[in-house]
Amino acid sequence: MINSKKGNAGQGFLEYALIISLIPVLLIGALDVMGVTLRDVYCNVITTLGSDACKGSFFTDSFDSLDEWEIVNGKWNINDGKLCNDKGGKIFRDIPQSDDYQINLSGANLTKGNGFGIMFRSTDYEKDNGYIFQYDPGYGRGEMIFRERANGREFRPSARYRPTGDYDWYNEPHDIKLIVQGDTFTAFVDDQQVLQTQDNTWGEGGFGFRTWNATEVCFDNVSVDPIP
């Protein structure tokens, strides 16, 4: 009898151990179904605890080449480590994280023309579907705007900002940050928030740059990062 009880106890322990070992497997399967990765769970936990370990960029580009970019039109080129264009055109890049992110553009220097735009959540590069933030001294008396685009057509601005005073549109490098989160888009220029708007037409997609007319502009580097 004593041996029998020990055997049953050992069997029960093994069954509990097997059940416990299956729990992580079942959890991983459930997370996969919901589109959540273990990295997402890990990053959510350690971010809550104050760690910066998951704040690495989805990608960065200091413009050594254009191999990862898709040029739709225009004369885009690399000049002394900068992405430049001296005519109208569009250039795009896919990003690993295509829904929520922040775009950090450094050293955007417009030297001539009516302006440039940062495209985001672009779903069809040829059809030009998505959103754009325009740095646009040619719009009205000079404005920064958010607007939607679809099939090459541009919609009326959903948000507008006109700098006051002696704002330097030309020959002055500026840093631009766009936070794309859910249906809310926020623009910063030189760390100052200038615009915010909301729209839910396009939920994901790549990003890129657009120029028009005789614009001459260069960009130092760009990164797409997780939202802190």
The DSSP bridge partners found for residue 76 are 85
Same domain for 72 and 37: no
CB-CB contact of 162 with 140 (8 Å): yes
- Show the domain range for 39: 2-48
If the chain, 228 residues long, is cut into consecutive pieces of 10 residues, what is the mean pLDDT of each piece? 52 60 51 47 55 69 94 94 93 86 97 96 92 96 96 94 91 97 97 97 94 94 94
Amino acid, single-letter form, for residue 169: W
CB-CB contact of 74 with 92 (8 Å): no
Q: Is 54 within a domain?
A: no
What is the per-residue pLDDT for 214? 87
What is the per-residue pLDDT for 75? 92
Number of domains in the chain: 2
Q: What is the residue-wise DSSP string for 43-102?
A: HHHHHHTT--TT---SEEE--S--TT-EEEES-EEEETTEEEESSSEEEEE--S--SSEE
Q: Is 53 within a domain?
A: no
What is the per-residue pLDDT for 53? 46
What is the per-residue pLDDT for 95? 86
What is the per-residue pLDDT for 111? 96
CB-CB contact of 143 with 136 (8 Å): yes
Same domain for 18 and 101: no
Pick the closest to residue 219 from 141, 108, 134, 115 (CA basis): 108
CA distance 134 to 75: 19
What is the per-residue pLDDT for 165? 82
The pair of three-digit structure tokens given for residue 35, joined into one six-digit string:
């589109």
